[in-house]
Amino acid sequence: MECKKVLVVDDQYGIRILVKEVFSKYPLQVLQAANGMQALEIVQSDRPDLILLDMKMPGMDGLEILRRLKKMDETLKVIMMTAYGELDMVEKATHLGALAHFTKPFDIQDLCNEVIRQLAS
């Protein structure tokens, strides 16, 4: 697998670092954004292969970011992360094109396996 780029969008620094650490054993470049505006800028400049997107963030929420990402590039692969079992938001995200979602606290290995699976497809 050539070096793919994964963007982690989460306002929680700990989550971004955890994901970066877990993916360090794969040929992946992990990009990080703490909010929606940063995420959109990184997507334009770096074209990540997959985005891990938190649902709840100050400012722009995950659904709004997802809408904007899909406007920029319909083919972007996005996996949602949420701290709450908000099924309506998860349904909206799926409708907007999210491939999967993980509820925090998630099993980091499950998340990792899904990311690798999506990048391989």
Structure confidence by residue, pLDDT tens digits, 20-72: 999 999 999 999 999 999 999 999 999 999 999 999 999 999 999 999 999 99
Model pTM score: 0.94
Residue 30 phi, psi dihedral angles, 5° rounding = -100, 120
Residue 13 phi, psi dihedral angles, 5° rounding = -60, -40
Taking the C-alpha atoms of residue 40 and residue 44, their distance in angstroms, rounded to an integer, is 6
Q: What is the pLDDT of residue 88?
A: 84
